[in-house]
Amino acid sequence: MFLRHRGIGLGIGAVAVALSLAACGASSGTSADAGKPTGEAAKKAVAQGGADFTTAAEKTAAMGTDAKPGEWPRTITHAMGTTEIKAQPKRVVVLDVGELDNVVSLGVQPVGYAPTEGSPELPSYLKQDAGTPENIGTINSLNLEAIAGLRPDLILGSQLRAADQYDELSKIAPTVFSIRPGFTWKENYLLNAAALDKTEEAKAKLADYDRAVKDLDGKLGDDKPVVSMVRFMPDGRIRLYAKASFIGTILDDAGIPRPDNQNIPDLAAEVSAENIDQADADVIFTGVYGDPKATDKAAVQGNPLWQNLKAVKAGHAYDVPDETWYLGLGVTAAMEVVADLDRYLTR
């Protein structure tokens, strides 16, 4: 059973109380479907290379609700089963940047938010409209006591991030999980909107995005530059982002071609500094996850291998905001990326 705890007090006992009253809640639902993997097994199934990775968008598109606009209670089918939401949510907790972007774009200021470890601040592009949500840990280390203390009436997250904590979360409040963040961002948006009874608003925002990306496609014409996406990660890792990523879907929608090694149905390919020549293209966009000093960005870009890349020699290698291009995972970030692409590629 799911709970909508409006009367649980703050403090050390908040989580204990929330997790002990599962049979008493006003909102009901099922945990995982029979036979469906849970916990770490569920995370691995939808991670890069997992059994359910490539089908995540299609499966998410089939989720949602049959409830009519304004109809409550409503039952949401999602990655972990079904959840009944009794009334219009007013205190929403989001467990990742994608869910934050989604709810803020729909006029909802969440009461709690879990940032990424590499970017602990509220994303600058959402600050104006997001309000002041409380920190509830990070995407990989949720603080359940803090979540319960906020008395949420809806929790939005994903199976990939928090499958192992779904049962505990769903005893705090009705919880709706997408399968994974990333290339499923449009499907996730509609799933989150269904839980908030804001489907029409979400469809309108996606229509705005479609118009913007088609306009960019038209401006670029038939002779589009080949674009390479390079992201510097901690511990020396370098990723070349591919089709099954947030940025990959946007480039696909705009008809922008990619190098062969990025034109693959995967999140990314990893290269080393020694073979950074594999990142070459007509245009290179680079992002950095977390502190640039914790990456090899400076060393790589100071190396002759980087300096000899076609895009670099032509002055067509650009640093772009990681918080929108790679971490945004929602329609607001997508619109920012399209505007950036327009600025850089239609000069």
* Mean pLDDT along residues 45-74: 88
What type of residue sits at position 215?
Answer: D
Angle subtended at Cα 321 by Cα 146 and Cα 181, rounded to the nearest 5 degrees: 50
What type of residue sits at position 171?
Answer: K
The full DSSP string for 78-146 is ETTEEEEE-S---SEEESSHHHHHHHHHTT---SEE--BTTB-SPPGGGHHHH--PEE-EETTEE-HHH
3-state class percentages of the chain: helix first, strand second, coil last, to nearest 5? 45, 15, 40
Supply the mean pLDDT for the chain.
Answer: 89
Tokens, residue 344: 């850089």
Phi, psi (rounded to 5 degrees) for 227 = -110, 135
Please tell me which residue, 34 or 51, carries the higher pLDDT value. 51
Q: Which residue has 């009874």 as its token pair?
A: 197
Label residues 160-189 b or e (16+ Cβ within 10 Å = b): bbbbebbbbbbbbbbbbbbbbbbbbbbbbb
pLDDT in tens, 239-293: 999 999 999 999 999 999 999 999 999 999 999 999 999 999 999 999 999 999 9
Contacts 24+ apart (CB under 8 A), 46-54: 46/159, 46/160, 46/179, 46/180, 47/160, 47/180, 48/266, 48/267, 48/268, 49/266, 52/179, 53/180, 53/244, 54/244, 54/265
Q: Which residue has 């200021």 as its token pair?
A: 109
pLDDT in tens, 224-251: 999 999 999 998 999 999 999 999 999 9
Q: Which residue has 């306009």 as its token pair?
A: 215
pTM as predicted: 0.89
Please tell me which residue, 189 or 30, carries the higher pLDDT value. 189
| Nearest-angstrom CA–CA distance, 190 and 64 | 8
Q: How many CA atoms lie within 13 A of 66 on its CB side?
A: 1
| Nearest-angstrom CA–CA distance, 90 and 102 | 15
Is beta strand 283-288 parallel, antiparallel or unpaired with respect to 317-319? parallel
3-state secondary structure of 212: helix
pLDDT in tens, 60-107: 999 999 999 999 999 999 999 999 999 999 999 999 999 999 999 999
Nearest to 337 by CA among 258, 252, 239: 252
